[in-house]
Amino acid sequence: MKIKLMRKREGVYNEVRKERTDERPIEAATVPEYLVFPLNMHIGAPANPIVEVGDKVKIGTLIAEKKGNISANIYASVSGEVFDISDQPTVKGIAPCITIKNNYKEEWEEPFYSENDKLTVTQMKEVIDKAGIVGMGGATFPTSVKLSPPSGTRIDTLIINGAECEPYSTADHRLMVEHAVELIEGVRILARILDVNQVYVALESDTHDSAEEMKKIIDQEDHIDIVELETIYPQGSEKNLIKKLTNREVPSGGLPADVHTVVVNVATALAVYEAIHLRRPSIERITTVSGEPIKEPKNLRVRIGTPISYLIDDCHGFCTNPGKMIHGGPMMGTTINSGRIPITKGTSVITFLEKGEALRSDRTSCIKCSECLNVCPVSLQPILISQAYENGDLDKAERLGALDCIDCGNCSYICPAKIPLLDNIRAAKKEIRSRQEAK
């Protein structure tokens, strides 16, 4: 990728490419005939399918149940019939999926819970759990688990994350501009559940219009602060936001709850509003489709399960042949090679790069410039972790804090020797976690 980077301690100023979509209103995406629901679309255990081929479903029918504590329910986003249950290409590779054939009748299930108001805090958490809501900024961690900290852990601060720092992504920006009322109501629900006195809604300074929209709504609420932060990558990382807003540091291997804080993405807060007030589960999300090769980049409201190829058609195809398709942004995203891969709850942006942008220079030897250390926002030594992994020394990689890496990709993009630092660190993390689970 040839996006220009300018180094700053603990981050980079990258060349923002949001101008083609940041003022484009959200449009409804085409709803396809076949939608594909990966059972592993969240972090943790894949959901367990509870439908069979031939079963009739409506919008909001539960098709796969969460399995274990770290998991999430999956609901049909169209009415129709279960067409297939088999392995399909997903952003995580080939994995079990449920395919539903759309009958285009737009039949809805009854509201997925019967209570309409005066829910207790416990009941609201149960609704959020049942709705299958996960972190929609990309982490896909079950939200109900975040809202249930360990016994004895006091949460006093809620951070709503609207700092959308990937170069092409504008889905959260448009959400904050166009759905500020619903978003802030979701924030109030979350604040009530956590019983916190301080809420920060954090966004970057280049989305000032969204800050203005939200300030109009919270004018009389002293405990909610809209905070405009410097536009720098990765401003939106959880640990960065906590440090910036509270001066608290999440300990190595720890969680935000360890410093009395919970961080929730703006899209997740909107999903919470929809679950509590509209009584519907998580069945759609806002996704940016952008990049130079796309003829007409857009922000689209997409049904979960929609194959990416339909979004390309909604954007009228390509003006130049793309060199790379990325699920996510160019800094943290995953390269994919099939338009059959479906949109999931964690898909905030699909990015296309031109062939020239996608070219990677040949790797050379480390020149000991220390740039990867300088730009690491969590103060790791990426080159040393990478070398430990390549030498097969997982113990050393773990001692160097590989598991604390936030996958921002700054190190790889700044590296003049083109060493695949992030790839190596991700691989090290995967092997370390596998080893821990095997014990």
Check the annotation: does 319 bind a ligand.
Answer: no
Angstrom distances, CA of residue 425 to CA of 5, 92, 429, 431: 21, 17, 6, 10
Q: Is 405 annotated as a binding residue?
A: yes
Could you give the C-alpha distances from 434 to 127, 394, 438, in angstroms and in order? 32, 11, 6
372 is in an annotated binding site: yes
| Location of structure tokens 């790791």 | 380
Two tokens, residue 399: 């001692």
97 a known binding residue? Answer: no
CA 66 to mean position of chain CA atoms: 19
**What would the DSSP string read from start to end of 256-277?**
GGGGTEEEEEHHHHHHHHHHHH
Radius of gyration of the chain (CA): 21
Tokens of 253: 């291997």
Give the separation between CA 281 and CA 129, rounded to whole angstroms: 10
**Which residues are CB-neighbours of 80 under 8 A, at least 6 positions away?**
56, 57, 100, 101, 102, 103, 104, 105
Distance CA 239, CA 47 (A): 28
- CA pair distance 273, 323, nearest whole angstrom: 39
- Burial class of residue 31 in the structure, from the number of CB atoms within 10 Å of its CB (0-12 exposed, 13-18 middle, 19+ buried): middle
CB 184 within 8 A of CB 144: no
Binding residues are 366, 369, 372, 376, 405, 408, 411, 415
Binding residues for [4Fe-4S] cluster are 366, 369, 372, 376, 405, 408, 411, 415
